[in-house]
Chain A
């Protein structure tokens, strides 16, 4: 494969995404089932909805965080088969 492509990592959202991937186990242990807002340097806010964590991130000066949910305990460590959805 060629190497002259735009890679994802330079984008700020990619740094946040990489942080989530690298800290997935810690997040699942500490914040299962919660919504999180993440910036390039890590976790900004934890809450119960997209609206709540986005607002908390805005109040801390980040208007465009990565927003996602942490897997619930009953879905952790499960091999998911999504085919057919």
Chain B
């Protein structure tokens, strides 16, 4: 298990990350909660706006919350650097939805986590991340 990078958190595993639009090269530092119960990584649509990503023509994928209601999300390719470091980078199709960050918050789901080794010592509010060695 690769535990190259360590992070501390409070309450829930909230980490910093750099979000980069592959189409425009623009980037922003923000935060997201690691959620091993989420299949998809989700960001607030306002990040797409800020990064110059046009979501109006982006493919739609319906996501389902625990209450069962399908929620439309727009899919766009982004690069993320977990913990803000290029050593934990991944390019993938992220889901963008409105009103996420001021409600549930951005989520890092299993689609991203499948490429990394994640360790949590939740009793100590501490985690580790590293690129999975194939």
A contacts, CB < 8 Å to B: 1-2, 5-9, 11, 13-14, 16-17, 20-21, 24, 32-35, 49-51, 54, 64-72, 75, 80-85
Q: Give chain B residues whose Cβ lies under 8 Å from the Cβ of A33.
A: 102
CA distance A2 to B65 in the complex (A): 37
Q: Does B116 contact A (CB under 8 A)?
A: no
Nearest A residue to B102 by beta-carbon distance? A69
- Chain B contact-residue range equals 35 or more
A-B pairs with beta carbons under 8 A, tally:
125
Contact B10 A66 (CB under 8 A): no
B contacts, CB < 8 Å to A: 3-10, 14-16, 18, 28-31, 33, 35, 37-40, 42, 44, 46-47, 49-50, 63-66, 83-85, 101-105, 107, 109, 119, 121, 128
Would you list 13 pairs from A and B whose C-beta atoms are within 8 A, ordered by A residue? A1-B121, A7-B7, A8-B83, A14-B16, A14-B84, A17-B14, A17-B15, A17-B31, A21-B9, A32-B102, A66-B16, A84-B65, A85-B37
